[in-house]
Structure 1
Amino acid sequence: MQSWDPTMVNPCLWFHVTCNGENSVTRIDLGNANLSGELVPQLGQLANLQYLEMFSNNITGTIPKEIGNLTNLVSLDLFLNRIHGHIPTALGNLQKLHNFRLNSNSSTGTIPYSLTTITTLHVIDLSINRLSGYVPRNGSFSMFTPIRFVVCYMIYEIIDQVKRW
């Protein structure tokens, strides 16, 4: 980004970065910004970050477990990228999270049960990935209506049927 000058002391002056009155980063809006590369573990140091919007880019690699340090995070939108690997269990630490969208990536493994402890979670979209196992039905996941998981369930059911053959 042209306005992102690493020599500037205050990143609050950068485009697509929002800060609070104490010059602490609270929002990163980089959706559909034609970005490539990987998410860095240092993102986990942004203690007051509430919104991490990096959808519809060309981001590769895995989700760093350090994202689980962002305990003020309300929205994590990483959909439409090329993220792979497991969903970190540490994301269960995000107890203020309302929206988690990871759809249309290449994530693998199972849905961590730690996500079921997030009682504030209203939207979760993990569809169109390479996940395996079952969709948890306990904790906060028991409150979701079936329509929220319809695509996810269909994928899990197909995988389960193939395993039985």
Structure 2
Amino acid sequence: MAIWTLLHLLFVLLSTTLAPTAANTEGDALYALRRAVKDPGNVLESWDPTLVDPCTWFHVTCDGDDRVTRLDLGNAKLSGSLVPDLGKLERLQYLELYKNDLVGSIPEELGELKSLVSLDLYHNNLTGPIPASLSTLTNLKFLRLNGNRLTGRIPRELTKLGNLKILNVSNNNLCGTFPTSGAFSKFSEDSFMNNPILEGPELMGFVRYDGGCK
């Protein structure tokens, strides 16, 4: 019996030692972003992967449990792409990456950021569709994707975002009609303007031709 107790304690000790902590996981996720971007201003210089706690890195804010809650990299002269790993930041509330030169698509994995309050990706060069997965961000209040090169329809699922206070998808290459139901009913046409092939608000009961919108 004593040997089994000893073996059990040894197993628990090894499991605790080898299991990745939240800080390690979040640090890995942030470092994946650092590897995916060019940083001519060295704003990410403090992002050292040998440090267990990313809460010591500049432009990163954490809560009392040392979990990442803010990423402030607006107007940081970054170029490159977003990474799916960002979806691992479970307590992230503010993702601020506006006014950079980011390219590529918006990862669907951002829909896993259930605590997110603000998603600011405006004034980049992002392409591809707006992920419908963002509709799961029930705490989202600010969604600003304007000034990119996003294409496709605006996902109707986003009208479920009842807490949304500010929406801006203007100055993209979106198409189809823009939804005016649900949470979107409070937003004016200014939120959707300057999309070359985006028509006016959808009309309930009408089926509108979307001009080949995909």
User: TM-score normalised to the size of structure 2?
Assistant: 0.71
Distance 1:155 1:79 in 2: 20
Match in the other structure for 2:125? 82
CA spacing shift, 1:118–1:150, aligned 2, 3 Å: closer
Match in the other structure for 2:69? 26
Confirm or deny that 1:151 pairs with 2:193. Answer: yes
Match in the other structure for 2:81? 38
CA spacing shift, 1:155–1:124, aligned 2, 3 Å: farther
State the Cα distance separating 1:122 from its structure 2 match.
0.7
Match in the other structure for 2:6? none
State the Cα distance separating 1:142 from its structure 2 match.
1.2
Confirm or deny that 1:123 pairs with 2:166. Answer: yes
Larger RCO (CA under 8 A, 6+ residues apart)? 1
Distance 1:152 1:99 in 2: 20
Structure 1: runs of 5+ lacking an equivalent: none
Q: Which amino acid aligns with 1:73?
A: L
- Tell me if structure 1 keeps the 8 A contact 2:175–2:199: no
Distance 1:10 1:149 in 2: 39
- Tell me if structure 1 keeps the 8 A contact 2:111–2:137: yes
Q: Which amino acid aligns with 1:156?
A: L
CA spacing shift, 1:111–1:36, aligned 2, 3 Å: same
Match in the other structure for 1:137? 180
Q: Count matched residues.
A: 161
Confirm or deny that 1:61 pairs with 2:85. Answer: no
Match in the other structure for 2:54? 11
Q: Which amino acid aligns with 2:176?
A: G
Distance 1:119 1:63 in 2: 22
Runs of 4+ in 1 over 3 A off after TM superposition: 152-155
State the Cα distance separating 1:143 from its structure 2 match.
2.4
Distance 1:71 1:30 in 2: 20
Q: 2:154 aligns with which of 91, 111, 117?
A: 111
Report the 3-state secondary structure (helix = DSSP H, G, I; strand = E; otherwise coil) of the residue aligned with 1:151.
coil
- Tell me if structure 2 keeps the 8 A contact 1:135–1:153: no
Distance 1:147 1:156 in 2: 11
State the Cα distance separating 1:36 from its structure 2 match.
1.1
Report the 3-state secondary structure (helix = DSSP H, G, I; strand = E; otherwise coil) of the residue aligned with 1:44.
helix
User: TM-score normalised to the size of structure 1?
Assistant: 0.91
- Tell me if structure 2 keeps the 8 A contact 1:124–1:148: no
State the Cα distance separating 1:155 from its structure 2 match.
6.0
- Tell me if structure 2 keeps the 8 A contact 1:126–1:152: no
State the Cα distance separating 1:45 from its structure 2 match.
0.5
State the Cα distance separating 1:151 from its structure 2 match.
2.0
Rg bigger for which structure?
A: 2
Percent sequence identity is 50
